[in-house]
Structure 1
Amino acid sequence: MSDSESLRSFTAKWQAMWPEQMLLQTFLPADQRPQAAAWNALFCELQECVFALEQEAVRGPKSLWWADELQRMSRGQARHPLTMSLQEHAAPFAGIAEPMLALATQVPLRSGTSKQLMQQLQPYSEAVAACESALFGRTSETDAAVINIQLLLMRLPGGFQAFDRAMVPMHLLARHQALDAPTDALRDDWLTELLTLLPECHAGNPYREAQRRFIRRRLRALRSGKSPSLTPAYAWDAWRAVGQFR
């Protein structure tokens, strides 16, 4: 398999899971489309590694590998198709490594409150936001908060049954007596809380603004009991997100 074919296999994997990202590609400037696809796929690979792997014996070594890969990007020595395609851009990729490793040692996260959970995720999300600013131009002080919510959304809906209970804070698990098994009321409360925590103000760049709009739409669909599905409304989100920066 050639390098370009290998790259497409990774970007296609995540675009199939998050098809709204393919719509975003349509509206982004042509010169930003390749890096947006690669960046989205890399973000998803890192999220899966840090948050979705239950066994520490697997999560630890894999996180260390990705941390090394992020650091190698600053020296132009990346080995993975995604990082190889992104390392030509002057972004602080290495800054993600340390907070990523710190989170990987804490999983499953057991936060007392939603505020404490956001604080735990914040260093990692700020490092991600710094890279997005370099890749897509500008940043906002709320971008890291949007990334926090995206990381939590990516554990839904299946994460409610998983080893980390989708990272739901203890105050909600205790309120609904759901330490052993989730309830419908717990799901509703958590989705409502995530929507409340999602910033209403515009993000700092078109890529992150599109994600903010996509996140809101997915959370609303889940709260209404629907499985998120690609609709024309996502195209509207992408068009509005990109258009406001022109």
Structure 2
Amino acid sequence: MSDTDSLRSFTAKWQALWPEQMVLQVLLPASQKLQAAAWAALFCELQECVFSIEQEAVRGPKSLWWADELQRMSHGQARHPLTMPLQEHAAPFAAIAEPMLALATRVPLRSGSSALLMQQLQPYTGAVAACESALFGGAAETDAAVIGVHLLMMRLPGGLQAFDRAMVPMHLLARHQALNAATEALREDWLSELLALLPEGNAGNPYREAQRRFVRRRLRTMRAGNPTSLTPAYAWDAWRAVRQFR
């Protein structure tokens, strides 16, 4: 398999999970299309590695491999189809490794409130935001918060019944007395809190601003109990995100 075929296999996996990203690909400048596809797919791979693997015996070694790969990127020694094209850009990829490993050792995360949960994620989300700023330009103080909500949304809807209970804070679990079973009321409350946590102001670059709009639309769709299928509204989100940075 060629490097191009390998890259496509990983981006295809990402696009199947988040089809709205294909709309964004059409609207991004040609110079950003490859890096946006590789970066979004890498973001999903890291999220899956750190937050979705229950067995520590699997999560630990896999997280160490990705941490090493992130550090290699800063020296032009990447090996993965997603990281090889990204390492050509000057971005602080290595800075993601340490906070990623710290989170991987603490999964499943337990927090008393949504604010404390976002604080736990902040070293990681801040490092991711710094890389996005280097890749796509611009910067906003709220980008790390947008990334945090994005990560938490990615644990839904199935995560509520998973080993980490989708990282739902303890105050919600206690309110619904749902330590052993997910409830519709718990789900609705958590979706409402995620929407409240998502910053209203624009993100720092077109890529992250599109994600902010996509996340908001998905959360609202899930809270309304509707299927999260691709609709023309996502094209509107992507167009507005890209347009405002031109």
| Residue 167 of structure 2: aligned partner | 167
% identical aligned pairs: 82
Q: Post-superposition shift, 1:182?
A: 1.1
Q: Post-superposition shift, 1:16?
A: 1.1
Q: Distance in 2 between matches of 1:139 and 1:12?
A: 28
Please show how residues 138-157 of structure 1 align to structure 2 within 5 Å: 138-157=138-157
User: What stretches of structure 2 of length at least 5 have no aligned partner?
Assistant: none
Q: Distance in 1 between matches of 2:15 and 2:182?
A: 29
User: What stretches of structure 1 of length at least 5 have no aligned partner?
Assistant: none
The aligned amino acid for 1:98 is: E
Question: What is the CA deviation profile of residues 4-37 of structure 1, one whole-angstrom value per residue up to 9, with x for unaligned ones?
Answer: 1000110111011100000000110011000000
TM normalised by structure 1 equals: 1.00
| Residue 209 of structure 2: aligned partner | 209
The aligned amino acid for 1:111 is: S
RMSD: 0.4
Please show how residues 191-202 of structure 1 align to structure 2 within 5 Å: 191-202=191-202
The aligned amino acid for 2:51 is: F
The count of residues paired between Structure 1 and Structure 2 equals: 246
The aligned amino acid for 2:98 is: E
Please show how residues 7-156 of structure 1 align to structure 2 within 5 Å: 7-156=7-156
Q: Post-superposition shift, 1:227?
A: 2.0
The aligned amino acid for 1:12 is: A
Regions of 4+ moved over 4 Å:
none
Q: Post-superposition shift, 1:69?
A: 0.2
Q: Post-superposition shift, 1:85?
A: 1.1
The aligned amino acid for 1:97 is: A
Q: Distance in 1 between matches of 2:183 and 2:58?
A: 30
